[in-house]
């Protein structure tokens, strides 16, 4: 019973949210707000006629490429900033500005430079995803307990051992939380780029169904993105469990 508690709680909270959505749709809060059941019906229809898969084939390209670039370069850059003593003042501000910048205002600039193709969209995903990954990684690395590094040194660790056996495992919880935040932001970036640059993929479904007032389809598309993001984040959590098995011991909430 207790073992299934987290799952039960998740289901319960999902039930409450969907229930509230259904009620709000029935009231209705706004004529443009469909009920949960209508939206699910639209999602089922798009799944069976395959249009949602076609759309995701399009949307996932900048998303996957952007998230991969952000993860690899973000963690790499974060490690470098965190390990180097003098460069923090130089690089951290760039990413803090990137994190705070109004992305919508930057998009026309990107389009001017890189056109309306995949490159611009990948850029938008990276701008959204990268800063939090870099900043989290850098601060996690910098906050590695000095006593653990000292311990390793006293037992004759090489720099490489200190990095792989002390700094990375110690930093991994914060790095992964940065990755989770970055991936969520990347999802937002991918959709934003499809809404602001050229309507393709899921962004196209949203734009198009809104223009013809097919609100259930619009909300179905939005819902599918959230669902995908949740699935992806859960996979990421599994990956963390596999890579850093010992980490959730002693840190885990319960």
Cβ atoms 158, 170 nearer than 8 A: no
The nearest distance, CB 167 to other proteins, in angstroms, is 12
Q: Say whether residue 253 binds other proteins (CB under 8 A).
A: no
50 belongs to the binding site for other proteins (CB under 8 A): no
- Binding span for other proteins by CB under 8 A among 44-52, 121-129, 153-161, 226-234: 153-161
Pick from 81, 107, 133, 166 the residue near other proteins by CB under 8 A: 166
Binding-site member from 50, 249, 253, 254 for other proteins (CB under 8 A): 249
What gap in Å lies between CA 26 and CA 20, rounded to an integer? 10
Q: Does 150 bind other proteins (CB under 8 A)?
A: yes
**Residue 98 near residue 131 (C-beta atoms within 8 A):** yes
* Interface pick for other proteins out of 22, 38, 88, 161 (rule CB under 8 A): 161
Using CB under 8 A, which of the segments 136-144, 192-200, 221-229, 241-249 binds other proteins? Answer: 241-249
* 84 near other proteins, rule: CB under 8 A: no
- Total number of residues binding other proteins (CB under 8 A)? 23
Quick note: the x/- pattern for other proteins over 170-209, rule CB under 8 A, is: x---------------------------------------
Sole binder of other proteins in the list 2, 89, 112, 154 (CB under 8 A): 154
Which of 1, 246, 253, 254 binds other proteins (CB under 8 A)? It is 246
Q: Which of 40, 54, 103, 148 binds other proteins (CB under 8 A)?
A: 148
156 binds other proteins (CB under 8 A): yes
SS3 for the chain is CHHHHHHHHHHHHHHHHHHHHHHHHHCCCCCCCCCHHHHHHHHHHHHHCCHHHHHHHHHHHHHHHHHHHHHHHHHHHHHHHHHCCCCHHHHHHHHHHHHHCCHHHHHHHHHHHHCCCHHHHHHHHHHHHHHHHHHHHHHHHHCCCHHHHHHHHHCCCCHHHHHHHHHHHHHHHHHHHHHHHHHHHHHHHHHHHHHHCCCCHHHHHHHHHHHCCCHHHHHHHHHHHHHHHHHHHHHHHHHHHHHCHHHHCCCCCC
Name every residue whose Cβ is closer than 8 Å to that of residue 88 and which is 6 or more positions away in sequence. Answer: 81, 138, 142
Which of the ranges 12-20, 103-111, 121-129, 163-171 carries the binding residues for other proteins, by CB under 8 A?
Answer: 163-171
- Which residues contribute to the site for other proteins (CB under 8 A)? 145, 147-148, 150-157, 161, 165-166, 169-170, 244-247, 249-251
């Amino acid at each position: 019973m207790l073992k299934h508690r987290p799952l039960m709680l998740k289901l319960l909270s999902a039930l409450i949210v969907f229930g509230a959505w259904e009620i709000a749709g029935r009231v209705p809060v706004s004529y443009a707000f469909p009920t949960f059941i209508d939206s699910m019906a639209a999602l089922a229809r798009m799944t069976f006629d395959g249009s949602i898969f076609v759309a995701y084939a399009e949307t996932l390209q900048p998303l996957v490429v952007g998230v991969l670039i952000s993860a690899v370069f973000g963690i790499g850059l974060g490690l470098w900033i965190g390990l180097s003593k003098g460069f923090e003042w130089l690089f951290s501000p760039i990413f803090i500005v990137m994190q705070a910048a109004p992305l919508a205002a930057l998009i026309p600039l990107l389009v001017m430079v890189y056109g309306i193709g995949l490159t611009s969209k990948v850029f938008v995903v990276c701008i959204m995803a990268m800063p939090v990954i870099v900043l989290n990684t850098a601060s996690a690395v910098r906050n590695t307990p000095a006593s653990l590094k000292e311990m390793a040194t006293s037992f004759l660790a090489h720099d490489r051992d200190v990095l792989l056996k002390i700094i990375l495992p110690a930093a991994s919880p914060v790095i992964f939380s940065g990755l989770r935040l970055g991936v969520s932001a990347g999802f937002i970036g991918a959709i934003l780029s499809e809404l602001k640059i050229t309507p393709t993929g899921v962004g196209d479904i949203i734009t198009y169904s809104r223009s013809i007032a097919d609100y259930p389809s619009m909300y179905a598309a939005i819902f599918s993105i959230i669902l995908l993001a949740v699935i992806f984040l859960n996979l990421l959590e599994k990956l963390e469990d596999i890579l850093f098995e010992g980490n959730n011991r002693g840190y885990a909430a319960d």
